[in-house]
């Protein structure tokens, strides 16, 4: 099986990291109080993490 390296832009990695931090803060806040702002942080974090996932899936789909 031929393995090729997937080039991932640094900006997508930074967006993913920021999204993961927001999700973690939102989950910790939801466990403590559970206000609407905590759930918005989780949703915003997931949206920020989505471009990296889509980039990887598009790259994998293009290889076939």
Instruction: Spell out the domain ranges in the chain.
Output: 10-63
DSSP summary character for residue 44: H
With a cut of 90, say whether residue 2 has pLDDT above it. no
Q: Which pLDDT does position 59 carry in this prediction? A: 86
CB-side neighbour CA atoms (13 Å) of 51: 15
pLDDT in tens, 21-61: 999 999 999 998 889 999 999 999 999 999 999 998 988 88
pLDDT, mean of residues 12-29: 96
Q: Which residue has the higher pLDDT, 64 or 22?
A: 22
Q: Which pLDDT does position 21 carry in this prediction? A: 98
The Cα 13–Cα 7 span in angstroms is 11
Tokens 């989505």 found at: 50
Contact 27, 40 (CB under 8 A): no
């Amino acid at each position: 099986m031929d393995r090729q390296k997937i080039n991932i832009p640094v900006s997508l990695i930074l967006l993913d990291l920021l999204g993961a931090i927001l999700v973690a803060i939102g989950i910790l806040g939801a466990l403590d109080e559970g206000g609407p702002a905590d759930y918005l942080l989780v949703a915003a974090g997931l949206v920020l993490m989505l471009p990296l996932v889509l980039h990887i899936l598009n790259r994998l789909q293009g290889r076939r």
